[in-house]
Amino acid sequence: MPASSPFAVVGHAAVRNWLSHAIASGRLAGSYLFLGPPGVGKRKLAVEFAAALRCKSPLHGWACGGCNECTRVAAGVHPNVRQFAKPEDARDLPVELVRDICEQASLTRLEPGQRVFIIDDADRFNESSANAFLKTLEEPPPQLTFVLLAGNAAQMLPTIISRCQTVRFSPLSAAELNQITRDWPALAEVDGRELLLRAAQGSAGKLERLLDSGALELAQNFIGSLKADPFKASEQLASALAKGLPADAAAELSRERLRDVLGIVAGLMRDQLTAGRDFAGTAPLLEKPSREPAGVDVLMNSLHRIEDLRERVDGNANLKLVCDALALALPG
């Protein structure tokens, strides 16, 4: 990829190489499933792949980034490259949308040559939208490639997975995440940057959300007041979770915030484990320890309990009860 590439994909060199070989050898699958954690660059790479299929002067079998085809695909204005996603307020991919995709797939092409339809949220097909899609997915019209994007194969219908060639995406490495976030002013200013980077688990999208959600500050406040009074710390955390959130989405976003707080606290404890220090001495978030340091077994036990709590948050647990349990799960 040239330095001036408009696609801005970081990492995933193996995936890119593999796809460029598929293009070069003419062995394209009709449908691909890009599978991997959210926020690692699947959509961006799908767009770059679409450009590689259209590019007038490919470099080593991949998108040059500079020709008229590449430029229009990168700008999202190429009529042959379409992107679809679940509406924000919908739980699943609606059957109406999927019927529309199939109809557009069957229409005469606006411009000759390869077409690419990118469908996000492919782990959100419901039974009727999947049924509406299966025939088109199995036998796409000539010169049409589907690229489905999904985070969670466990949530996907096997009938969809089996009709696609799966391309797996890994989390970004620390160096790649650093490269992507080098110019993020909000991250440069934050106290606890390294902790956030680790809590993002190789996902730039997750890091962006963590920065926006204020979860780091909540975690810091919680841990700061934990030693003095665990129950008060829990009260404060629980009441801060919904602060500043739009009323119609507060329930879901509070849950997400608490999930992020748990991730940050777990990261902090892993730091302590690897550093061989005690949790109560967590600089710079805590004052000097006033008690015996927590041993490795205590930290491990707390980490397991936090993992349980994360599962409970993913389920439908009462958030206040989770905050209470978290306060009790941590070494004092």
Cβ neighbours of 243 (radius 10 Å): 11
Using CB under 5 A as the binding rule, whether residue 237 contacts Zn ion is answered as no
Task: Describe the crossing of helices 319-329 and 250-275 by its angle, rounded to 10 degrees.
Answer: 10
In the complex, the smallest distance separating the C-beta of residue 5 from Zn ion, rounded to whole angstroms, is: 10
* Residue pair 306/262 in contact by the 8 Å Cβ criterion: yes
With contacts defined by CB under 5 A, name the span among 5-13, 55-63, 157-165, 281-289 that binds Zn ion.
55-63
Task: Describe the crossing of helices 230-240 and 319-329 by its angle, rounded to 10 degrees.
Answer: 140
In the complex, the smallest distance separating the C-beta of residue 183 from Zn ion, rounded to whole angstroms, is: 26
Using CB under 5 A as the binding rule, whether residue 55 contacts Zn ion is answered as yes
- Which of 71-80's residues contact partners 24+ apart within 8 Å by CB, and which partners? 71/6, 73/47, 74/6, 74/7, 74/47, 75/6, 76/47, 78/50, 78/54, 79/110, 79/111, 80/54, 80/109, 80/110, 80/111, 80/113, 80/114, 80/115, 80/116
State CA 284 to chain mean position distance. Answer: 29
With contacts defined by CB under 5 A, name the span among 34-42, 52-60, 119-127, 284-292 that binds Zn ion.
52-60
Number of residues located near Zn ion, criterion CB under 5 A: 4
In the complex, the smallest distance separating the C-beta of residue 68 from Zn ion, rounded to whole angstroms, is: 8
Using CB under 5 A as the binding rule, whether residue 317 contacts Zn ion is answered as no
Nearer to Zn ion by Cβ, of 37 and 61: the residue is 61
In the complex, the smallest distance separating the C-beta of residue 65 from Zn ion, rounded to whole angstroms, is: 6
Nearest to 191 by CA among 209, 174, 214: 214
Nearer to Zn ion by Cβ, of 63 and 294: the residue is 63
In the complex, the smallest distance separating the C-beta of residue 47 from Zn ion, rounded to whole angstroms, is: 13
Q: Please give the full DSSP string across 105-137, using - where no structure is assigned.
A: HHSPPSSSS-EEEEE--GGGB-HHHHHHHHHHH
In the complex, the smallest distance separating the C-beta of residue 148 from Zn ion, rounded to whole angstroms, is: 24
For 24, the enclosing helix (H) or strand (E) is helix 13-24
In the complex, the smallest distance separating the C-beta of residue 245 from Zn ion, rounded to whole angstroms, is: 43
Using CB under 5 A as the binding rule, whether residue 23 contacts Zn ion is answered as no
In the complex, the smallest distance separating the C-beta of residue 169 from Zn ion, rounded to whole angstroms, is: 23
Nearer to Zn ion by Cβ, of 4 and 290: the residue is 4
x/- mask, Zn ion, residues 154-173, rule CB under 5 A, reads --------------------
Nearer to Zn ion by Cβ, of 52 and 149: the residue is 52
* Residue pair 147/49 in contact by the 8 Å Cβ criterion: yes
With contacts defined by CB under 5 A, name the span among 5-13, 49-57, 133-141, 199-207 that binds Zn ion.
49-57
**Rg (alpha carbons) of the chain, rounded to whole number:** 23
Give every CB contact of residue 142 below 8 A, 6+ residues apart in sequence. Answer: none
Map the footprint of Zn ion across residues 61-80, applying CB under 5 A.
Answer: 64, 67, 70
- Burial tier of 268 (Cβ tally within 10 Å: 0-12, 13-18, 19+): buried
Nearer to Zn ion by Cβ, of 46 and 150: the residue is 46
With contacts defined by CB under 5 A, name the span among 4-12, 57-65, 86-94, 103-111 that binds Zn ion.
57-65
Using CB under 5 A as the binding rule, whether residue 101 contacts Zn ion is answered as no
Q: Residues interacting with Zn ion, by CB under 5 A?
A: 55, 64, 67, 70
